[in-house]
Amino acid sequence: MQIVYHELEPIYDSRSNVLILGTMPSPKSRTLGFYYSHPQNRLWKVMSDVFQEPIPESGEEKKLFLHNHNIAMWDVLKSCSIRGADDSTIMNPEPNDMNLILSVAEIRTIFTTGRKATELYQKLCYPITGRESIYLPSTSPANCRNYTYDSLVEAYRVIKQALG
């Protein structure tokens, strides 16, 4: 177990209408400096298929993709003890202050990616924000047996619908 601190800046602006929250950046994402950066994580490919656009590759392309679609991205936790990238080992979770985004952006819908992000949001953030989140399945490579690629794309279409 190691204590991990969230070092990635939230991605948002005043036009953001949807907020996507993971649990905590994986070791690979922390090393590469952007959300969902593990090469086997399926989020960016899924999002590109949902919005029918090329897969954003660099951090700047991913940030531009999010801004172009009025999507904010962050994580539920600012710190925790965790073993590697295994969310099931999380202990001593400390939440990020969601009001950093919610006070500036016109967020209409909050999505949490994965069971642990949803559980932690409900426990730590919902009592403060009073805003429900909608569960989306994890795009992590550890979740490949539970969700096929096509089922992820279908599940994530709700983001586009939420944006109108």
The domain tally of the chain equals 1
Phi and psi at residue 19, to the nearest 5°: -120, 125
Residue 67 within any structural domain of the chain: yes
Question: Measured on CA atoms in the order 123, 162, 139, 104, is the torsion positive or negative?
Answer: negative
Residues with active-site annotation: 41
Residue 18 lies in domain: 2-39+54-136
Residue 114 domain-assigned (yes or no): yes
What per-residue confidence (pLDDT) applies to 161? 96
Structural domain includes residue 152: no
List Cα–Cα distances, 21 to 36, 137, 145, in angstroms: 11, 12, 22
In this prediction, residue 65 carries a pLDDT of 98
In a domain, 159, yes or no: no
Question: What integer pLDDT is reported at residue 142 of this predicted model?
Answer: 66
The whole-angstrom separation of Cα 23 and Cα 78 is: 9
Query: What sign does the CA torsion over 149, 136, 30, 120 have?
Result: negative
Classify residue 90: in a domain, yes or no: yes
148 inside domain: no
How would you write the pLDDT of the chain (164 residues) with one tens digit per residue?
A: 889 898 999 999 999 999 999 999 888 888 889 999 988 889 999 999 999 999 999 999 999 999 999 999 999 999 999 988 888 899 999 999 999 999 999 999 999 999 999 999 999 999 999 999 999 999 986 655 778 899 999 999 999 999 98
Overall pTM > 0.85 = yes
Please report whether residue 107 resides in a domain. yes
Question: Domain holding 76: CATH number?
Answer: 3.40.470.10
Residue 103: inside a domain: yes
